[in-house]
């Protein structure tokens, strides 16, 4: 897998963390180093660990589905991208949030929720026999960077719902494009065209 593909996956996966960080920045209004570090560290850590967990789970079943691995990878990425696109098109409600989303159980739940997509990506990478360590590191670093940027951006803007919609849509389309590229690399379209 090329660095471009890894970076594209990392950016797509970071969109949820980015959107949540913007909302956190808007909610807090003013952020300090500690708040920024806590959220960026946890989002980056969870985004890096979840693909490793998915990849490890994929190793146990890879032999049984090697003939269909590219279809499994495509299906998983399709499900994730479809969820992100659905989220982008859904009317945005503003649920009541705790005072500081960078603390305690709220931060852990946000970290877990924004990294679930990475679990499916890790499983997909296992199916196509890609080593996970470099992608996991890049995914974690990109998520932490996007979280930091999102929090600072959130303190300066007030239209988080609109940005979240665009971020989710962009992330969903990137994951879908990566899934289509996996099929192309395995000759699926060539077999269909002749």
Q: What is the pLDDT of residues 98-132, one digit of tens each?
A: 467 788 887 888 888 888 888 888 988 888 888 89
Give the model's pLDDT for residue 93: 59
Give the model's pLDDT for residue 26: 75
Compute the average pLDDT of residues 175-183.
80
Among 84-93, 134-143, 157-166, 175-184, the minimum mean pLDDT is found in 157-166
Residue 134 has pLDDT above 90, yes or no: yes
Instruction: Write down the pTM of the prediction.
Output: 0.70
Give the model's pLDDT for residue 48: 96
Res. 144 pLDDT band, cuts 50 70 90? very high
Compute the average pLDDT of residues 61-67.
66
Res. 156 pLDDT band, cuts 50 70 90? confident
Domain ranges of the chain: 3-193
Per-residue three-class SS string for the chain: CCHHHHHHHHHHHHHHHHHHHHHHHHHHCCCCHHHHHHHHHHHHHHHHHHHHHHHHHHHHHCHHHHHHHHHHHHHHHHHHHHHHHHHHHCCCCCCCCCCCCCCHHHHHHHHHHHHHHHHHHHHHHHHCCCCCHHHHHHHHHHHHHHHHHHHHHHHHCCCHHHHHHHHHHHHHHHHHHHHHHHHHHCCHHHHHHC
Q: What is the pLDDT of residues 38-48, one digit of tens each?
A: 999 999 999 99
């Amino acid at each position: 897998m090329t660095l471009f593909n890894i970076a594209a996956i990392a950016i797509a996966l970071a969109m949820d963390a980015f959107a949540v960080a913007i909302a956190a920045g808007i909610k807090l209004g003013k952020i300090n180093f500690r708040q920024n570090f806590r959220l960026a560290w946890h989002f980056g850590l969870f985004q890096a660990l979840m693909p490793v967990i998915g990849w490890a789970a994929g190793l146990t079943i890879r032999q049984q589905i090697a003939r269909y691995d590219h279809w499994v990878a495509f299906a998983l990425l399709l499900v994730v991208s479809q969820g992100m696109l659905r989220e982008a098109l859904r009317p945005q409600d503003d649920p009541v949030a705790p005072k500081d989303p960078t603390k305690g159980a709220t931060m852990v739940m946000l970290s877990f929720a924004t990294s679930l997509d990475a679990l499916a990506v890790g499983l997909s990478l296992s199916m196509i026999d890609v080593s996970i360590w470099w992608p996991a590191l890049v995914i974690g670093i990109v998520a932490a960077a996007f979280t930091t940027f999102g929090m600072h951006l959130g303190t300066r803007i007030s239209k988080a719902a609109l940005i979240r919609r665009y971020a989710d849509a962009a992330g969903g389309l990137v994951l879908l494009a990566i899934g289509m590229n996996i099929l192309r690399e395995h000759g699926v379209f060539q077999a269909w065209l002749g």
